[in-house]
Copies of this chain bind each other. A is one copy, B any other.
Amino acid sequence: MERITQYRQAIRQLLAAQASLDQNSVDQEIDCQMVVDTENDHYQLLDVGWEGLKRVYNCFIHIDIKNDKVWIQRNMTEVDLGQALVELGVPKEDIILGLHPAYKRPYTGYGVA
């Protein structure tokens, strides 16, 4: 359980760092939302709003904790989130690249479900 608490902390740290980068570049009609659902272990960063008459709705990072593993579900940034999580203390075998189909995961160097 202590391990999971540490993973949650690492994810929050990662999102906070990315959110601060994002807010520098966006408009004031666009919210950068940080979603922290510790009940179901879903974590996201999204841009939501309007750019003039264009609707903006873009989830650019989504990470879950599922069965004690950290799943990267979405990454529209240039940051290597797997590597960033490793640097924050999450062991590689406890990170799952959900962005790769299951059959590829044994070859990623990261964990499998």
Cβ-based interface call for A55 (8 A)? yes
Contacting residue for A35 out of B40, B53, B55, B99, CB 8 A: B40
Digit string of A71-101 for contact with B (CB within 8 Å is 1, else 0)? 0011000000000000000000000001101
Looking at chain A's contact residues, the main secondary structure is strand
Number of copies: 2
CB-CB < 8 A to A102: which residues of B?
50
CB-CB < 8 A to A50: which residues of B?
101-102
A36 to B44, CA, bound (A): 12
Chain A residues 35 to 57 lying within 8 A of chain B, measured CB to CB, are 35-40, 42, 44, 48, 50, 53, 55, 57
CB-CB < 8 A to A35: which residues of B?
35, 37, 40, 42, 44
Interface size on A, residues (CB 8 A): 24
Chain A residues 5 to 60 lying within 8 A of chain B, measured CB to CB, are 33-40, 42, 44, 48, 50, 53, 55, 57, 59
**Interface residues, chain A, with chain B CB atoms under 8 Å away:** 33-40, 42, 44, 48, 50, 53, 55, 57, 59, 62, 64, 73-74, 98-99, 101-102
